[in-house]
Chains A and B, each alone.
Chain A
Amino acid sequence: MQYWRSFSTGLVLLLITVPCMTFAQAEYEYLAQYSAANPDLSLSTSPQYPGPHEQVRVTARSAVGGLDTDTLIWYVDGKEVDQGSGLTSITVSTGALGSSTDISVQTLLGGVATLSIKPVELDLLWESDSYTPPFFRGRALPSAGSTLNLQAVPRFKRSDGTFVPSSDIIFTWRKGSSIIASVSGRGKSSARIPGPTLFGHDTFSVEARSVDGGFAAQTSVQVTSIEPILDLYQNSPLFGVEYHDALGVSPVSESEAVLHATPYYLAGGDPHDSGLQYQWSVNGQTVPTNTLKPEELTVNADQSDGVARVGLSLTSATDFFLSVARTWTISLVGIVGDSKSNPFGITP
């Protein structure tokens, strides 16, 4: 009897223990399989390189999947901020430059991923080497054949308040999707790259990474090529070229004037290039070009009021894409001021 009681007790224990152990084994194997995949648990941000005081979306991903049904617990700077089943992303705000926001996520099954967000700034400045007159306060815009000057200004601020110098940053320059290796490298924060073609546009980008890998940023700009613009100014013997007042708006208060043409945004930057051809015309008639100053034309209304239709065509013997022309109606107001016959044959 006693033997039978002991046998019954052992059998009951066995019937309880074996299923439990089997379940635990299956659970362990499941966990082992899932835990083995946890190194693929990763975090990504959008935007990829956030700036200071910016909203950032942080997303968790797993190569083996399963996060949609898993419970994720999110921590920001060590403090739990949210949790939920299938909660694969949260939104956080970055701090000021120099700050760091630590993000971590845990799954209920023990998966962990961490990320440290350090806000960065990267400016991309550009201009063209095209022609603009002295003292001009506008931007030199690109035309066909011009070269762009680009400058990257990174602001990678460490927690101690210092900035990573450009000499410790690797810059990778791209035109479109192509890396320009010749201007890329450590400390190469500025670059000269051929501009867009005639009537075209290109995207220029720069990626900056600190040599210690602690900071990274990327930015881009789209640049469009334009045609050069011809403007005409009076070259006064007293005041010089009057760049502040392009002709065509107000009359010239003299009967004789030296007209100075300025080809804004001319590729190559030199309006006196020997390959350039200035062709002037007055009232439809071609006039000889001053070989010493081809960009200038002297008109004389012979002491009477006159209206002249002045035309200029600018081409280049070396650049077949350059062809700019413009016509101005110039009113010359003579000092005498009487209404003699108009020597230009055009009535206003």
Chain B
Amino acid sequence: MNAALSALKYVLIGLTVAMFVGLVAWYLFLHVKQGAITQTDAARGAGAPAPVSGSFGSTYQNIIAGLSGSFTAVSSAVQSTSTSTQPRLWHISITPAAGFGFMSVSASSSPKVRYVERSTGYVFDADADTRTIERVTNTLTPQVYDASVSVDGRIVERTLESGVITTIIGSTTQTDTGLGVLATTPLARNISSISFSPNGKEIFGIVSSALGTVGIRSLSDGSKPKQIFSSGIAGWHTQWLNDGRIILIQNSSDNISGYAYELTSSGSLLLLASGSGLSVLPQSDSVRVVYGLSTQSGLSLYVRLRPDAPPVALPVKTVADKCVWLQNGPTLFCAVPRVAVPSGFLDAWHRGEVHTSDQWWKIDVATGNAEALTLSDTPIDVQGPVIDAHSQYIIFRNAADQSLWGLRIAE
């Protein structure tokens, strides 16, 4: 009897141990499976923040991941140290930017840059002093080839549909979720060039059709259009200066004569400059004009201080498109190729066949003195520089990769 009881006791103990071991094993099995399921769900995006809630967007993160080889979590704002310790050259965005501009701020405020991401059409704001970047809109517009930003933050985005340029214009509006939307209005098709008025409330565009080329001025929503210009020439690009003048510059080519005009309110053309391979940069609220030529001898840059004054050659050789005037006075900032470019550069540059590595120069056009700015040797092919209203910063694009850069010029 005692043996039976003893045997029963051992059997019960054994069963208990076996059950315990089995339960432990089952727990471990379930734990492993749960981990695998969690990994699978995470790979499918479960639990990850929705794309709309990220300030940079998935495109930015994907490109960063592709470039760095690992996924880096990016916070909604990148803080930096004080302005004085920051390098003068600032890589605002490494992803291609379709367009950019300064928004209107007071003299005591930090300059504010607004730019449009080429791949998505998302709008970003960047604080030049704190180097903070913040995404403003959540409205997706894929493949924005070109964009413009007005001083009051309006946006023009231009895309291609079956090879035809389509243009939309809009303003950002805030929503309760944080990110805003870009409320847009479509404009005419085939606008080859467009520019905002100084206050952002009007636009001027060049539109080409089989019937010819016209220049149309309208309110910024496209209403009240008025044709103020017509031409047998389709290849123009426009500038709308802060003093209200509309400038028309004929598309240029090496060794071929070109012209630039001021378009008056009556539609007549006042000659601003002419020459071979012409590029032009008039100064707002001034009669000074800088223009560049591209000839068999290469690039050259000139300034005309008064309409009746003869042109004076400047000591740097570059394209006027790579220059920007200080808001007042005879000072000019130019990005100059470090290596002299050969004849035929302009056409090749326009086609994207060549890129330069530029150095920034500060030039006093009244005296002809030029001073090179000491910056890093990062190769940048400067394109489309603009300066803020208080002459503290210049922003520009690198033509090689369309990334956006900033340069603090105030000492």
A contact residues vs B (CB 8 Å cutoff) = 53, 96, 121, 123-127, 132, 134-141, 149-151, 153, 155, 163, 189-192, 221, 229, 231, 233, 238-240, 242-246, 248-250, 264, 272, 335
A254 to chain B, nearest CB (A): 9
Determine the distance from Cα of A96 to Cα of B263 in the docked complex, in whole angstroms. 20
Determine the distance from Cα of A239 to Cα of B354 in the docked complex, in whole angstroms. 20
Determine the distance from Cα of A229 to Cα of B347 in the docked complex, in whole angstroms. 11
Determine the distance from Cα of A165 to Cα of B92 in the docked complex, in whole angstroms. 49
Name the segment of B15-23, B267-275, B387-395 touching the other chain: B267-275
Answer whether residue B96 sits at the interface, using C-beta atoms and an 8 A cutoff.
yes
- Contact: B163 with A239, CB < 8 Å? no
B308 to chain A, nearest CB (A): 7
Answer whether residue B49 sits at the interface, using C-beta atoms and an 8 A cutoff.
no
A140 to chain B, nearest CB (A): 6
B contact residues vs A (CB 8 Å cutoff) = 59, 66, 96, 118-119, 142-143, 145-146, 158-160, 163-165, 192, 231-235, 237, 250-253, 256-259, 261, 268-269, 271, 274, 308, 346-347, 350-355, 399-402
- Contact: A127 with B235, CB < 8 Å? yes
Determine the distance from Cα of A249 to Cα of B66 in the docked complex, in whole angstroms. 21
In the bound complex, residues from chain B placing their C-beta under 8 Å from that of A244 are: 352, 399-402
In the bound complex, residues from chain B placing their C-beta under 8 Å from that of A127 are: 233-235, 250-251
Determine the distance from Cα of A248 to Cα of B258 in the docked complex, in whole angstroms. 30
* One of A138, A229, A248 near B346 (C-beta < 8 A): A138
* One of B118, B163, B252, B259 near A134 (C-beta < 8 A): B163
B186 to chain A, nearest CB (A): 17
A-B interface, 10 closest residue pairs, ranked by CB to CB distance from nearest: A190-B232, A138-B350, A139-B253, A240-B143, A238-B119, A246-B352, A151-B232, A246-B353, A139-B251, A244-B352
In the bound complex, residues from chain A placing their C-beta under 8 Å from that of B233 are: 125-127, 149, 151, 190
B353 to chain A, nearest CB (A): 5
- Contact: A125 with B250, CB < 8 Å? yes
Beyond A121-B271, A239-B96, A240-B160, 5 additional contacts (C-beta under 8 Å) are: A136-B350, A138-B252, A151-B231, A240-B145, A244-B352
In the bound complex, residues from chain A placing their C-beta under 8 Å from that of B119 are: 238-239
- Contact: B351 with A123, CB < 8 Å? no
- Contact: B252 with A139, CB < 8 Å? yes
- Contact: A139 with B256, CB < 8 Å? yes
Determine the distance from Cα of A245 to Cα of B349 in the docked complex, in whole angstroms. 9
A187 to chain B, nearest CB (A): 12
Determine the distance from Cα of A124 to Cα of B251 in the docked complex, in whole angstroms. 14
Determine the distance from Cα of A221 to Cα of B159 in the docked complex, in whole angstroms. 36
Determine the distance from Cα of A126 to Cα of B160 in the docked complex, in whole angstroms. 26
CB-nearest residue of chain B to A272: B163
- Contact: B232 with A123, CB < 8 Å? no
In the bound complex, residues from chain A placing their C-beta under 8 Å from that of B354 are: 249
Give the interface centre of A121, A190, A248 by most chain B CB atoms within 10 Å.
Answer: A190
A332 to chain B, nearest CB (A): 15
B293 to chain A, nearest CB (A): 14
CB-nearest residue of chain A to B346: A138
In the bound complex, residues from chain A placing their C-beta under 8 Å from that of B145 are: 134-135, 240
Determine the distance from Cα of A181 to Cα of B374 in the docked complex, in whole angstroms. 60
CB-nearest residue of chain B to A262: B351
- Contact: A243 with B352, CB < 8 Å? yes
In the bound complex, residues from chain A placing their C-beta under 8 Å from that of B237 are: 137
- Contact: A163 with B352, CB < 8 Å? no
- Contact: B259 with A229, CB < 8 Å? no
In the bound complex, residues from chain A placing their C-beta under 8 Å from that of B163 are: 134, 272
Determine the distance from Cα of A192 to Cα of B210 in the docked complex, in whole angstroms. 12
Determine the distance from Cα of A123 to Cα of B353 in the docked complex, in whole angstroms. 31
CB-nearest residue of chain B to A244: B352
- Contact: B351 with A246, CB < 8 Å? yes
- Contact: B59 with A238, CB < 8 Å? yes
Determine the distance from Cα of A186 to Cα of B159 in the docked complex, in whole angstroms. 40
CB-nearest residue of chain B to A190: B232
B328 to chain A, nearest CB (A): 28
CB-nearest residue of chain A to B163: A134
- Contact: A139 with B234, CB < 8 Å? no
CB-nearest residue of chain B to A127: B235
Determine the distance from Cα of A126 to Cα of B271 in the docked complex, in whole angstroms. 16
B403 to chain A, nearest CB (A): 11
* One of A123, A124, A134, A272 near B165 (C-beta < 8 A): A134
